[in-house]
Structure formats: C-alpha cells, structure tokens
Amino acid sequence: MRKQDVARLFTTPVDSPAYAPTRYRFTDREYLNITYRTDPEALRRLVPEPLTVPEPLVRFEVMRMPDTTGLGDYTEAGQLITVEHEGERGEFNLAMYVNSVPAISSGREYSAYPKKSGSPALYVDSDTLVGTLDYGSLRVANATMGYKQRAMDLDEARAEICVPTFMIKTVPNYDGTPRICELVRTRITDITVKSAYTGPARLQLFAHVMAPLADLPVLEVVSASHILTDLSLNPVEPVFDYLARA
C-alpha cells in the first residue's frame, strides 16, 4: 500500500474497514422518547461548560433502526439533557448504548456520538410500547408508553427530533494527553416524519456503575412520544475548543 493510499484511509483495519464510508440514511427509524424531570444538582455535575442547564429535564430515548445504509439493522438507547448554548436551546448527548459494533465505531470515530456497547430493545407488548436497556446481563432501564393512544402534531414531532445536539469529541495522544477536546454541535435537517403519537408513560432506571442512567433519577415524567421517521444525519461542527482555552 502506497503512502498516499494510507493517508486516504478513513478507518482500520486497512483490508476490512470497521464501518462503511457513506452518508447514513435511516429508513423507518422509530423513536420512543420519554422526557422527565430530574435532580438539577446531578445535571450540573455532568453538563460541561459553556453549556448551561435552563431546566432539569432529561430525555430517555430508544431508537429502532431496521434499515440503515452501510450499517444495517440495530438499536440504540441513551440519555440527552436539555441545555442552552449562546441563547440556543438544545440537548447534550450524555451517553448512548448500542448493539452494533459498526454503529459504535462510526459514531465515535467519524463523529462524536458517545456510544458504548449495550443491549437495547423496542417492541410492542399487547397495548404497550416497551423500550428496554440491558448492560451485560443486567436491566438498567424499563420504559413503557400506551400504544398509539393519541395522534401527535407532525410539526411538533419534527421539532422534537430536530433539536440541536451537543456532544464532546475527545481524542488522546499516544502518551494519554488530549489531542482533540471539543464541544461539537449537530442538527438533523433532512427528515420525513411518517407518524407520531403521544400518551401516558412510565420510566424505571436501575443503578449500575458502568451504565449510570439512574444517577439522573426520574422525579416526574413530563412527556412521551412514539415517532416514525426517515432521516439522514448531518456532520458535526466544533463550537468550543477546550484545549485552545486551557
């Protein structure tokens, strides 16, 4: 392999890349979202400056992705915290738990998604939409919502999915010191909302040291949604360089 070919590699292994070099298009991407009120002090310990916390709100999401270009069929679950940055309201993506190695690799390397391995699921049980997350052999989250009880305004659903998202991108040097440490922003703009529903919901979180979702306790369920979409992800853009200001 020539030097110029090595320089064009987007990931490794060199003979079988960990993920496909493509723009990811999601068909029938299905969301269960439960927004809840939590302990504001717990949020302040986790949300990085220069983001601020206007309200102590967290969104627990489970996303079923049966048809994704380059990545196939997988499911994710995670927590996103309501934040503001320079007057813009958005969400800080705290953690994502994913059952696909290519999706984890591409999300972390190519972008800044805070993905790690987990076993989420989204399915219908009788008259209930159920979202679960297991870490290893242990259950860490149970989410339930009444199945398609009330139609949701599609524009409201689109706004919920398309809120700006902030994440931390960090890459170490070989000696362990940081090479990249940035706050980045992205926003979904290419989206079709196929259906959307709301209804009563409950969320249980269970303590786990390596999947600490319960460190943001559920004090009150504020809202819930069940949304079906087709969408594409946009690239991230840096908005704050921690190393330049260190």
Token code pair at residue 63? 């996303």
In contact, 58 and 39? CB cutoff 8 Å: no
Beta bridge partners, 75, equal 64
In contact, 187 and 236? CB cutoff 8 Å: no
* Catalytic pick among 115, 116, 148, 169: 115
Residue 115 is among the residues annotated as catalytic for this protein:
yes
In contact, 180 and 169? CB cutoff 8 Å: yes
CA dist list (Å): 155 to 22, 51, 190 = 29, 26, 14
Local structure of 106: helix, strand or coil: helix
Which letter, b or e, does each residue of 159-173 get, where b requires 16 or more Cβ atoms within 10 Å of its Cβ? ebbbeebbbbbeeee
| d(C-alpha 195, C-alpha 180), whole Å | 39
| d(C-alpha 140, C-alpha 129), whole Å | 17
Catalytic center residues? 115
